[in-house]
Amino acid sequence: MHRLLKRQIRKYLSQEEQERFKDFLFVIDSAYAGFDTDIKQIENVLEKSSQELFNVNRELQISLESQKEEAKTASTRLKSIVENISEIIFQANVEGEWLYLNSAWTHITGFDLNDSIGINIFEFMHPSDIDLCKIKLKRLIDGEEVDCQGEVRFVTRNGSYKWCELLARVSINDSGIVTGLTGFIKDISTRKNLEKEKNLTIEKFKLIFEKSSVAYLIIKEARFIECNNACANLYGVDGKENLVGKYVKDFSPEYQPDGSKSSDKVVEMIRIAKENGYNKFDWVHKKADGTEFPVEVSLNPIQLSEGNILFVALNDLSERKRVESELILAKEKAEEATRAKALFLSTMSHEIRTPMNAVIGVTHLLSEDNPREDQLSNLNILKLSADNLMTLINDVLDFSKIEAGKVELESIDFNFRNFINNVAAGFHMKAKEENLDFIVEVDPKIPAHLMGDPTRLSQIVTNLCGNAIKFTDEGSVSLKVNFSSFKNDNIKLQFEISDTGIGIPADKKDQIFESFSQADSNTTRLYGGTGLGLAITGKLIELMNGTISVESELDKGTSFFVDVELKTSMKSAQQVNFNDDYFKECSKIEGLHVLVAEDNPMNVLIIKQFLKKWNVTYEVAKNGQSALDKIQEEDFDMVLMDLQMPIMDGYAASENIRKLEANKYKEIPIIAVTASAFNEIRGKVLAAGMNDFVTKPINPEELFLKLEKYAKHYN
């Protein structure tokens, strides 16, 4: 029996009643059992549903959680975007008061967000931009425009303004009512500043183009499309607007000075400009009135998006051409003046030297003609003064020639031993007169034959030896030639000229090489001289790429060192005894028979006297023609040939002698007698067939040495 029925029967029915209703209870019990089964079934269904409900609920909860999470992430992301975006995002009410601003507002304006919310947008706007912005916003709110866009200036915290771009739209609620504005504001100040700068630069370039004194123009398709006023002025057109649009060809003559057609040449010039990126050339243009004028044109092809143009700068050459022609004229004048100066110098050389020749010569003669003692001292003064004057003339001539860069060094073969011998010969005599020893030492390693300019080298050594003797009262003067090195046919020599004389103060050592400069202001009075000698010497050494230096001790003596490089000659060496005294005896030239070709009676007189003294016989010819005749009539050993003579000069006479048939005329030594100090004379003399020359005024030692040198041919 069902337990519930059992309990209730026990509670309400007695045992007899239970027996009595036994069948009925059985039926009830079956109903209970059926009911239990139903209940169990319902319970099962319920449990299943509850389980399902639970499951659904759980899933729902999970999905809700994840949706919540997603919403949170999205909101954070959005917030981060809004906060980090560089543009201002805003919301405002219809009055224009800020309702929302992101932090870009603070970045851009510097104002605090909390302080700004609730404040009207126009409070932050530049006064000049407010009105327009108000109109635009009104139209937006009134529904006339969908959005409002514009560039306005917002004030910043430091009081300056920033250009911003504003974009706004209206916010509408669910009922379709406008509740306010939403939008963003972008900082465009950098772009605006760049635009401003760009505009300024464009303005500047425009100004430069417009105001430049250089004529600029722009050509496109053979027309002037732009130009400045300088260009209009250059073409003689009134205002640039009258030039723009014109054709280029209208402003060029038909032909250019080189004969080419302007229209052809311009094509070529443009082609070169395109090839090289630019082209600069001279051009002849034509003004509006037809006058032609020279211009320097710079063509620069430029590629623009709207097509290619030529940017042209024109430089008026009229003034430069004028100055150029003036310069050419001035140069011609200067050259003419230089020629006149050279002519003057050579004339002066000749004109002064000829009378000086006479003065010196006659002085020599007089002093050798047994003068009285009082006459002798006067003659000595005369001789000294004349010598000084001659030196001065020579120095001035030489110096001006070197200064003018007219001195060209020769490179000829010469016998170095003979050279030293010749230079030394004069000084042996001079030193003897002054009671000084003159010592010559030449390094035997130096080859006998060298190549160089013996005349100029002699000038250098002579000058230094002359000074050494001049500034030495007692003791000795020495000329040493040291061999320094030898390389590739070049030989380095050092000339050392030392004396035991007055010395040079240390602070004057550099100064003495300057022109007209002497170590002591008393020098001229005590020793004579002009102060030009060392200047000339220094310059000649410089020309030879050599160097000069000086060592000196006051009252002890001076040494000059000259380092020069010469070339060795192919000729074989020749031994010379340096201790020979050439003036001991005249026997070496005694008995010579000389033809003296000289027109100046004074010179003739002087030469005659010397020759007589040395027992040399002579014959005089008064011009070149007479010399040519005489040489064929008599047998001479030598000819002394003056260069400037009437009828036939010395050059022509010498050339003619050399042309004569017999062999002896080809060999007979002809020595030129010349008043000119210039080097080129030497070349001319040799070219005319003469062997050597002596300079006027005739120095007896020099003449003697030359006669002796060539007499050797006959001994």
Residues in contact with ligand ADP by the rule CB under 6 A: 467-468, 471, 499, 501-504, 512, 518-520, 523, 529-535, 558
Cβ proximity to ligand ADP, 499 vs 642, nearer residue: 499
Query: Taking the alpha carbons of 603, 683, 704, 640 in that order, is the dihedral positive or negative?
Result: negative
Cβ proximity to ligand ADP, 530 vs 603, nearer residue: 530
Cβ proximity to ligand ADP, 31 vs 554, nearer residue: 554
Cβ contacts of 114-123, under 8 Å, gap ≥ 24: 120/95, 120/96, 121/92, 121/96, 121/97, 122/96
Cβ proximity to ligand ADP, 129 vs 499, nearer residue: 499
CB of 555 to ligand ADP, least distance (A): 10
Query: Taking the alpha carbons of 656, 657, 662, 668 in that order, is the dihedral positive or negative?
Result: negative
Q: How many CB atoms lie within 10 A of CB 607?
A: 24
Is 665 in contact with 657 (CB distance < 8 Å)? yes
Cβ proximity to ligand ADP, 203 vs 520, nearer residue: 520
Which residue is associated with the tokens 């400037």? 644
Cβ proximity to ligand ADP, 294 vs 531, nearer residue: 531
Cβ proximity to ligand ADP, 452 vs 503, nearer residue: 503
The two beta strands, 449-452 and 412-415, are antiparallel
Cβ proximity to ligand ADP, 530 vs 654, nearer residue: 530
Cβ proximity to ligand ADP, 468 vs 548, nearer residue: 468
CB of 481 to ligand ADP, least distance (A): 17
Which residue is associated with the tokens 């059926």? 34
CB of 509 to ligand ADP, least distance (A): 9
The rounded distance, in Å, linking the Cα atoms of 403 and 390 is: 20
CB of 281 to ligand ADP, least distance (A): 55
Number of H helices, E strands in the chain: 21, 22
3-state DSSP of 632-647: HHCCCCEEEEECCCCC
| Distance (Å) of CA 605 to CA 358, 464, 482, 553, 589 | 9, 33, 43, 47, 19
3-state DSSP of 431-453: HHHCCCEEEEEECCCCCCEEEEC
CB of 561 to ligand ADP, least distance (A): 12
CB of 681 to ligand ADP, least distance (A): 24
The rounded distance, in Å, linking the Cα atoms of 407 and 677 is: 11
Residue 187, token pair as written in the block: 């900082």
Residues 6+ apart with CB under 8 A from 25: 1, 5, 9, 18
CB of 473 to ligand ADP, least distance (A): 11
Please tell me whether residue 622 adopts helix, strand or coil conformation. coil
The rounded distance, in Å, linking the Cα atoms of 612 and 307 is: 100
Residues 6+ apart with CB under 8 A from 672: 641, 642, 643, 650, 654, 681, 685, 690, 692, 693, 694
Cβ proximity to ligand ADP, 537 vs 568, nearer residue: 537
Cβ proximity to ligand ADP, 274 vs 509, nearer residue: 509
The rounded distance, in Å, linking the Cα atoms of 202 and 196 is: 10
CB of 510 to ligand ADP, least distance (A): 11
Query: Which strands, in side-by-side order, build the sheet including 692-695?
Result: 617-621, 593-597, 638-642, 670-674, 692-695
Cβ proximity to ligand ADP, 156 vs 515, nearer residue: 515
CB of 532 to ligand ADP, least distance (A): 6
CB of 430 to ligand ADP, least distance (A): 14
* Interhelix angle 700-711/601-613, nearest 10 degrees: 60
Residues 6+ apart with CB under 8 A from 532: 392, 395, 396, 399, 515, 516
CB of 533 to ligand ADP, least distance (A): 3
Q: How many CB atoms lie within 10 A of CB 149?
A: 13
CB of 469 to ligand ADP, least distance (A): 8
CB of 422 to ligand ADP, least distance (A): 21
Cβ proximity to ligand ADP, 351 vs 520, nearer residue: 520
